[in-house]
Amino acid sequence: MFDHLQAQKPDGILMLMQMYRDDPRDSKVDLGVGVYKDASGNTPIMRAIKTAEEQLWHAETTKTYVGLAGAPDFNDAMVKLVLADAVPRAAVNSVATPGGTGAVRQAFELAKMASPGGRVFVSNPTWPNHVSILDYLGMEKVMYRYFDDETRGVDFDGMIADLKQARKGDLILLHGCCHNPTGANLTDPQWDEVIKVLHDTGATPMIDIAYQGFGDGLDADASGTRKVAAAVPECLIAASCSKNFGIYRERTGILMLVAGGTDKTIAQGTLNFLNRQNYSFPPDHGARLVTMILNDDALRADWQAELEEMRTGMLGLREQLARELEQRSGSNRFGFLAQHRGMFSRLGAAPDAVVKMRDDSGIYMVGDSRMNIAGLNAQTIPVLADAIVKAGV
């Protein structure tokens, strides 16, 4: 039967990674892979994670399964981190998942069960795996305007006009902060406008928050998510610990269902059921480390201090790149780079300019000109700035 399998479309980012590895130039710069890097190009293990791992090694007495929903203390700690006091804890059902991707997949599965004919409104552009998973599940998607190629900011008027076409039973997928791939975020007043549309249409919001703490700080980055959760009768939230705890390979995430008016036993039972069908019990090692850090004052303080160093470091890189480009181009048209937040920015370069930067200067970024700001350092920023100007961006 396997001779009937068809070749799958290759992942563009994975292909870009291979091209980068095969490039012999010492001056090459990797801005494609979506992981945090320090100034040396390494993805470090955070100090608090190392300390927690050592403590866990001494204290852990079993490797038996946790429950289908994951460890309760992990769920409690993550709900508190993301939502704070925006909604009562009793109104939030949750399950631990294998990373943020697992949470997104489970959220889509849940939406399909709850509203089989519902559509999913997705920002244009969005993280490619959102679209890939929806296509695989056979769910109808509707792209809504989001990024303005001229201003490199949010096309908010277009976004609102498109979202007004949603209806009850539809899902509206929103990025909680640090929009991937553009880096362009909604303001607080814009979140309020989105909430009004949600009320008017009856559509259900789903928020993917994968970069909390990478933009303007832990609480500021969660403010939009908290506004929505507090204002609507029900919503889904997919959160990841990969970036802000640096535990990419531990696959640690959580899916939250905020629905105070829904039978809690049925809601939680359905989440547990979906976990059972996909992977049974979620992984616990990363979740255990996150729980230890969030529930220990000293570990949490060290984690937040290092996360803040990472966040401000990326802001510094953005500001330096914007300055270098202003000097070389003689204009402030790249000022948006200092305004964007998170690891990514969409440069707005044409595909041929992206290829030219790669061929001429060894600059590797995704074909739509998304670049990982964390892949830069003080020495490579001038190289990138020269390449951008020479490519005529």
Q: Give yes or no for a contact between 244 and 307, defined as CB atoms under 8 angstroms apart.
A: yes
- CA neighbor of 176 nearest in space, from 226, 135, 129: 226
Say whether both 90 and 226 belong to one domain.
Answer: yes
Domain count along the chain = 2
Note down the domain range covering 25: 11-45+300-390
Residue 54 within a domain: no
Residue 326 within a domain: yes
pLDDT of residue 13: 79
Q: What is the mean pLDDT of the segment spanning 319-332?
A: 95
Residue 197 within a domain: yes
Q: What is the pLDDT of residues 190-219, one digit of tens each?
A: 999 999 999 999 999 999 999 999 999 999
Say whether both 140 and 40 belong to one domain.
Answer: no
Q: Give yes or no for a contact between 221 and 239, defined as CB atoms under 8 angstroms apart.
A: no
Higher pLDDT, 14 or 118: 118
Which of 166, 184, 210, 287 does the annotation list as catalytic?
210
Say whether both 268 and 130 belong to one domain.
Answer: yes
Residue 251 within a domain: yes
| The pTM of the whole model exceeds 0.85 | yes
Q: What is the pLDDT of residues 337-362, one digit of tens each?
A: 999 999 999 998 999 999 999 999 99
Say whether both 191 and 233 belong to one domain.
Answer: yes
- pLDDT-based confidence at residue 392 (cuts at 50, 70, 90): confident
Burial of 384 from C-beta contacts in 10 A (0-12 / 13-18 / 19+): buried
Say whether both 254 and 105 belong to one domain.
Answer: yes
Domain-ending residue, one of 227, 262, 295: 295
Domain-ending residue, one of 295, 310, 333: 295
Q: Is-catalytic flag, 127?
A: yes
The CATH code of the domain that includes 279 is 3.40.640.10
Residue 341 within a domain: yes
Say whether both 239 and 113 belong to one domain.
Answer: yes
Which of 166, 243, 338, 374 does the annotation list as catalytic?
243
Residue 53 within a domain: no
Q: What is the pLDDT of residues 288-302, one digit of tens each?
A: 999 999 999 999 999
- pLDDT-based confidence at residue 12 (cuts at 50, 70, 90): confident
CA-to-CA separations, 122 to 172, 287, 346, in angstroms, rounded: 7, 29, 17
Residue 380 within a domain: yes
Say whether both 27 and 70 belong to one domain.
Answer: no
Q: Is-catalytic flag, 303?
A: no
Say whether both 121 and 265 belong to one domain.
Answer: yes
Residue 206 within a domain: yes
The CATH code of the domain that includes 358 is 3.90.1150.10
Q: What is the pLDDT of residues 110-126, one digit of tens each?
A: 999 999 999 999 999 99
% of the chain at pLDDT higher than 70: 100
Say whether both 34 and 132 belong to one domain.
Answer: no
Say whether both 110 and 29 belong to one domain.
Answer: no
Which of 148, 208, 302, 368 does the annotation list as catalytic?
208
Which of 91, 111, 127, 184 does the annotation list as catalytic?
127
Q: Is-catalytic flag, 69?
A: no
Say whether both 213 and 180 belong to one domain.
Answer: yes
Say whether both 271 and 251 belong to one domain.
Answer: yes
- CA neighbor of 212 nearest in space, from 93, 97, 338, 343: 343
Q: Report DSSP state, residue 55.
A: H
Domain-ending residue, one of 248, 272, 295: 295
Apex 317 CA angle, 307 and 220, nearest 5 = 45
